[in-house]
Structure 1
Amino acid sequence: MKNQTVDTIIIGAGASGLMLGALLKNRDFLIIDNNPKIGSKMLISGGGRCNITNDNLQSKNYLGNQRFIRNIIKRFDQNQLLLWLNQRGLTPQLRKDSQYFCKNSAKEIVDLLKREIDNHKIKLQTEVTKVEKKDNIFKVHTNRGIFQAKKVVVATGGLSFPKLGATPIGYDIAKSFGHTISTLNPALVGFTLQPKQFFFKSLSGVSTDVKIKVGEQEIKGSLLFAHKGISGPAILNASLYWQKGKITIDFLPNIKIEQLKSSKKYISNLLGLSNRVAKTFLEQLEIEDKSANKLNNEEYKKIESLKEYSFAPAGTFGYSKAEVTKGGINTDEIDASSMMSKKEENLYFLGELVDVTGELGGYNFQWAFATAYVCSKTI
């Protein structure tokens, strides 16, 4: 094989690489991956059930060039993906209103993709070190020798979960062929805290509904207090749009303060928070827990501050905890009709590598599958 030239080498046996292999099926290709097994990240995602896609699929659920995103997802949307899976015996389950998961285990979708691909076409524990092109043939250098192909598809994913074999090789290959990489950062990840917010840590394990403003975005959902900082779905989505600086959290999203003032109930029971969270906040605000009608105007002003609690996170939990990497290969340098590089003919980039990142809820796997589909139609 090392002395032969295959038609296509796919670097990466994650969601986009496996999907492309499944779609190419009987074509002449080889998948190379540095991991000992395929679909490593898929197998642990979504609590082990893999959040495959989302019923509410729109370009606005992604950070990136909206026109580029629309051109991709309209060609292979959630309905086409679900139909394709259903025709091969997998019927994902709808959970959490709009999110589709494997019924029992993420292994179901990984096994389905594997069945579509000839085992001989997957070479594992093979680490790519660089890619060169000479006389219209790509040479893929690895720890197991050099493999040759007429076309190369880079589907190596981002930098999140380094323990699962994530490396920057995809970005390195792109740069070596003249591509521009926008700033890379962990995304869909928790925030660490400044000393003034360290009291949040005393609430570790407790979640509460919030509304978060970050930049131009407003995000509703659940916040989880954690021993390292704050996490939960609302925070993970907020991290996608955060670029340093302050975020503003409404800890009382369903409460109108004016309506509390005549109540004889204790204020801790009126805030829509768990008793533990309410009392912790009251303590921080230096407000005695008493009947709401006995609080003075100054105390109510302090409670109002919980509706616009602004602070700057210290940072994030990092790539080891991040679901995805935001940033990536400039989409102006990629042809949306094929995912081929505009810098180098027959070189393609899929999924998380490009500068498009989805919100929590199956959007990033949908993006991986959609880019693979687009690529499969022209390669």
Structure 2
Amino acid sequence: MIYEIAIIGAGASGLMLASHIKNKSVCLIDSNKKIGQKIKVSGGAKCNITNNVVSCDNYLGDKEFVKKVLKNYTNNDLLEFLNANNVQPKINPKLIKGTYFCRSSQDVIDMFTRLTTHVKKYLDTKVLDVEHKDELFIIKTSKGEIKAKKLVVASGGLSYSTLGASSIAFDIAKKFNHTITKLEPALVGFTVQKEQFWFKQLSGLSIIAKAKVENKSFYGSLLFAHKGCSGPIILNSSLYWKKGKISFDFLPKEKIEKLLKGNALISSKLPLPKRFVQEFLDSIEIKDKPCSLVTNDELKKLQLIHNYELSPAGNFGYTKAEVTKGGVDTSQIDVNSMQSLKQKNLYFLGECLDITGELGGYNFQFAFSSAMTCSYKI
């Protein structure tokens, strides 16, 4: 059998596209035994599916490209689609600002299961290679060859290898002469230099802080980890960090000089966990003492709590990364259809493109928007 459309990847973008193609023979190929495995683990198994405010400023990559794709299928369009299919996401104000979470990730997977009954699924099937011959794509898999007139690559990036992530999208892109921009783990925790080893002593502790990286700033939870630091503001910072410094304000809502009054100890006056204050004081070589005994020089040192700079040693790697930064160069993709400008009838969607969103539902939104952009034209 020759399919009209073959889709590699049964994640967000692949499933969205497959669910909207009717009256055509479509197959879906995925290395996992079940569809939507990355959807299943997202957002703590509650699927952070989009955000209340979505703009190109929430993405790393070609802003104009992102703007056009998001305009083709907005967050409101997505919410309308989800609600119509009995997936009713709600904003959780205690987590990342404006993020819509579902009751369960399984609700999203069940929805796509219902909406893709017309699609032939090749699951537990690994794509090994792709060739184009006589106007057909010949997809060589672990279970034999699959032929199709059109091929859509929606297999994501290198993150979550335990869920079948692989380089196949980039391998296919290279084979058809596409440029791949530098690939790196993103939305991932940082390892730290020796000067910040005190972070490790606080493993499991979280505080509300503000981070500044490049020309971006993020406010929210910072989680100390045995490797260094993580949490929403760190994951977002990792998207924009290159090789320079990141600065933290550990007391973003207060001024330390206004707090250090009276004879109480420094650690009891700061509205932060005592464990954190003790480690911070040790790191800047100041003893926990009555506030009245703090010298002017020590007060200047203590101002570091508002502007603590560090240069990460690295990050936790692809096994811990939410997404992959970099990918198929979008200048070689038709923004109106997601079709390759190098090879007719070849399309690329979602995370494998050189577009990466911040934490907070932005990557799912782009995955769905790119899928719908493709569905209008394919």
Q: TM-score band (shorter)?
A: over 0.9
1:72 aligns with 2:57: no
Given the superposition, is the C-alpha separation of residues 254 and 120 from structure 1 closer, same or farther in structure 2, using an over 3 Å criterion?
closer
User: Distance between the aligned counterparts of 1:271 and 1:64, measured in 2?
Assistant: 40
Match of 1:83 in 2: 80
Secondary structure of the residue that 1:335 maps to in structure 2? coil
- Contact 1:44 1:106 (8 Å CA) reproduced: yes
Match of 1:139 in 2: 138
Secondary structure of the residue that 2:223 maps to in structure 1? strand
Question: What do residues 26-48 of structure 1 show as CA deviations (whole Å, max 9, x unaligned)?
Answer: 42110011111111111011111
Match of 2:288 in 1: 289
1:55 aligns with 2:52: yes
Counting only pairs closer than 5 Å after superposition, residues 88-167 of structure 1 correspond to structure 2 as: 88-96=85-93, 97-103=97-103, 105-118=104-117, 121-167=120-166
How far residue 109 of structure 1 moved from its aligned partner, in angstroms, is 0.5
Counting only pairs closer than 5 Å after superposition, residues 228-247 of structure 1 correspond to structure 2 as: 228-247=227-246
Amino acid paired to 1:214: V
How far residue 16 of structure 1 moved from its aligned partner, in angstroms, is 0.5
Question: What do residues 9-64 of structure 1 show as CA deviations (whole Å, max 9, x unaligned)?
Answer: 00000110011011114421100111111111110111111111111111101111
User: Distance between the aligned counterparts of 1:148 and 1:289, measured in 2?
Assistant: 71
User: Distance between the aligned counterparts of 1:111 and 1:69, measured in 2?
Assistant: 29
- Contact 1:51 1:99 (8 Å CA) reproduced: yes
Match of 2:356 in 1: 357
Secondary structure of the residue that 1:118 maps to in structure 2? coil
Amino acid paired to 1:34: S
Secondary structure of the residue that 1:341 maps to in structure 2? coil
1:18 aligns with 2:15: yes
Counting only pairs closer than 5 Å after superposition, residues 314-329 of structure 1 correspond to structure 2 as: 314-329=313-328
Question: What do residues 53-106 of structure 1 show as CA deviations (whole Å, max 9, x unaligned)?
Answer: 111111101111110000001111111001011112221122125111111x20
Amino acid paired to 1:305: L
Match of 1:222 in 2: 221
Match of 1:343 in 2: 342
- Between 1:259-268 and 1:305-314, the stretch displaced more is 259-268
- Contact 2:18 2:119 (8 Å CA) reproduced: no
- Contact 1:16 1:371 (8 Å CA) reproduced: yes
- Contact 1:9 1:153 (8 Å CA) reproduced: yes
Amino acid paired to 1:289: D
- Contact 1:25 1:118 (8 Å CA) reproduced: no
- Between 1:134-143 and 1:325-334, the stretch displaced more is 134-143
Secondary structure of the residue that 1:74 maps to in structure 2? helix
Given the superposition, is the C-alpha separation of residues 369 and 120 from structure 1 closer, same or farther in structure 2, using an over 3 Å criterion?
closer
The runs of 5 or more residues in structure 1 that have no matched partner are: none
Match of 1:267 in 2: 266
Question: What do residues 141-160 of structure 1 show as CA deviations (whole Å, max 9, x unaligned)?
Answer: 11111111110000000110
Amino acid paired to 2:6: I
Match of 1:334 in 2: 333
How far residue 291 of structure 1 moved from its aligned partner, in angstroms, is 2.6
How far residue 282 of structure 1 moved from its aligned partner, in angstroms, is 1.3
User: Distance between the aligned counterparts of 1:59 and 1:306, measured in 2?
Assistant: 32
How far residue 262 of structure 1 moved from its aligned partner, in angstroms, is 4.2
User: Distance between the aligned counterparts of 2:123 and 2:261, measured in 1?
Assistant: 68
- Contact 2:260 2:269 (8 Å CA) reproduced: no
User: Distance between the aligned counterparts of 1:77 and 1:120, measured in 2?
Assistant: 25
- Between 1:106-115 and 1:287-296, the stretch displaced more is 287-296
User: Distance between the aligned counterparts of 1:26 and 1:46, measured in 2?
Assistant: 34
Amino acid paired to 1:141: K
The runs of 5 or more residues in structure 2 that have no matched partner are: none
1:191 aligns with 2:190: yes
- Contact 1:255 1:271 (8 Å CA) reproduced: no
Amino acid paired to 1:48: A
How far residue 304 of structure 1 moved from its aligned partner, in angstroms, is 0.9
- Between 1:290-299 and 1:229-238, the stretch displaced more is 290-299
User: Distance between the aligned counterparts of 1:305 and 1:231, measured in 2?
Assistant: 20
Match of 1:371 in 2: 370
How far residue 247 of structure 1 moved from its aligned partner, in angstroms, is 1.3
- Contact 2:266 2:289 (8 Å CA) reproduced: yes
How far residue 119 of structure 1 moved from its aligned partner, in angstroms, is 6.1
Aligned residues: 375
How far residue 196 of structure 1 moved from its aligned partner, in angstroms, is 1.5
Secondary structure of the residue that 2:254 maps to in structure 1? coil
Identity percentage of aligned residues:
51
Amino acid paired to 1:307: H
User: Distance between the aligned counterparts of 1:269 and 1:219, measured in 2?
Assistant: 27
User: Distance between the aligned counterparts of 1:144 and 1:120, measured in 2?
Assistant: 18
Q: What TM-score results when the alignment is normalised by the length of structure 2?
A: 0.96
Given the superposition, is the C-alpha separation of residues 25 and 92 from structure 1 closer, same or farther in structure 2, using an over 3 Å criterion?
farther
User: Distance between the aligned counterparts of 1:81 and 1:261, measured in 2?
Assistant: 50
